[in-house]
Amino acid sequence: MEVLLKILIVAAASYLIGSIPSSYCTGKILKGIDLREHGSGNLGAANTYRVLGLKAAIPVLLFDIGKGFVAVHYLSRFGGTGTGFALLAALVVVIGHNYSIFVRFSGGKGVGATAGAFLALAPQAVGMCVVLWIIILLATRIVSVASMASAACLPASIPIANRLFGARVHYSIAVLAVAAAVVVFVKHRSNIARLRSGTEKKIF
């Protein structure tokens, strides 16, 4: 019973922190607008950049990364120091970000929150993926391509980081990374359709 209660508390707390819609709040505070009605309609840092500019997008991105990190690094400790609660927090915080209770279960595409969650779980692997994200963004100037490529490489980056840097990341985290990559691709369905039709907009 005690373990079940801890699971419920960690899951609920992680979901609520993931649900905090930073881009929505930023749009309302700065311009009095609902970002779901502008740009791509997505509540994420990329659409914040398109509609409100870089100065608004950077805090949104950092906040989204931060809430993923906080959920995994701090909230999961309520359940104990085992990997299981960290995995639970990582999964649920991304679900909260993508389907926020505060904005009628809409949200972002999970990239920032996923990066933050895995920053707590596998920091070296995330560092490798961030470098890849920057390289692909500079090469293509398309955020969705960089985000999907980095998400796809995250599962492989974990064992590579284990070998290169001597990290001791449990194999179950790589399995979660596969699930996270699938979620990222699913949330980017509209971007994939625009890429195939050649209508996906470049960020700069």
> How close are the terminal C-alpha atoms of the chain, in Å?
53
Number of domains the chain is built from: 1
203 domain residue, yes or no = no
pTM (2 d.p.): 0.93
The pLDDT score that the predictor gives to residue 45 is 94
The pLDDT score that the predictor gives to residue 91 is 96
The pLDDT score that the predictor gives to residue 69 is 98
204 domain residue, yes or no = no
22 domain residue, yes or no = yes
Q: Give CA–CA dist 16/184, Å, rounded.
A: 20
86 domain residue, yes or no = yes
pLDDT confidence bin for 204, thresholds 50/70/90: confident
The pLDDT score that the predictor gives to residue 80 is 77
Chain segment 7-57, per-residue pLDDT in tens: 999 999 999 999 999 999 999 999 999 999 998 899 999 999 999 999 999
Contacts of 159 (CB under 8 A, 6+ apart): 171, 174
The pLDDT score that the predictor gives to residue 105 is 95
pLDDT confidence bin for 178, thresholds 50/70/90: very high
69 domain residue, yes or no = yes
102 domain residue, yes or no = yes
Question: In the predicted model, what is the mean pLDDT of the chain?
Answer: 94
The pLDDT score that the predictor gives to residue 1 is 63
12 domain residue, yes or no = yes
Q: Give CA–CA dist 130/122, Å, rounded.
A: 12
Per the structure, the complete domain to which residue 27 belongs is given by 2-197
Chain segment 113-153, per-residue pLDDT in tens: 999 999 999 999 999 999 999 999 999 999 999 999 999 99
98 domain residue, yes or no = yes
Q: Give CA–CA dist 97/199, Å, rounded.
A: 26
Average pLDDT over residues 152-167: 93
The pLDDT score that the predictor gives to residue 32 is 95
